[in-house]
Amino acid sequence: SPRAMQRGFAHLCVGEDDIGRSTATVDGYLVFDNDLLICAGAVATTMRDAIDQFSARLRRRLIRLHHHDLLQRSRVQRITEGVSL
């Protein structure tokens, strides 16, 4: 079964660096099954770019998690198929 997302958080911030250039920062996390935390963050010159980078990083982590879960289910299935009752 898919993991249950319990909560999520995103923090967006705009500021200037030491030489006066605009910076946008996005960071956040998702909590699954009350014990799995997936985090991501990004810094860019515009908020749009920071959000795009943040969402791409978070998406890659979620895809890796999905592939890991599929592999685990496949291993469990092979183990249980090999057991005779």
The pLDDT-based confidence of 83 (bands split at 50, 70, 90) is low
CA dihedral angle for residue 60, residue 77, residue 79, residue 81, rounded to 10 degrees: -160
| pLDDT, position 7 | 94
More confident residue, 56 or 73: 56
What is the C-alpha R_g of the chain? 19
Give the ranges where 1-85 is alpha helix by DSSP (H). 47-81
Q: What is the pLDDT of residues 14-36, one digit of tens each?
A: 999 889 999 999 999 999 988 89
The sign one gets for the Cα dihedral 12, 13, 17, 21 is: positive
What percentage of the chain carries pLDDT values higher than 70?
94
Is residue 32 within 8 Å of residue 49, measured between CB atoms? no
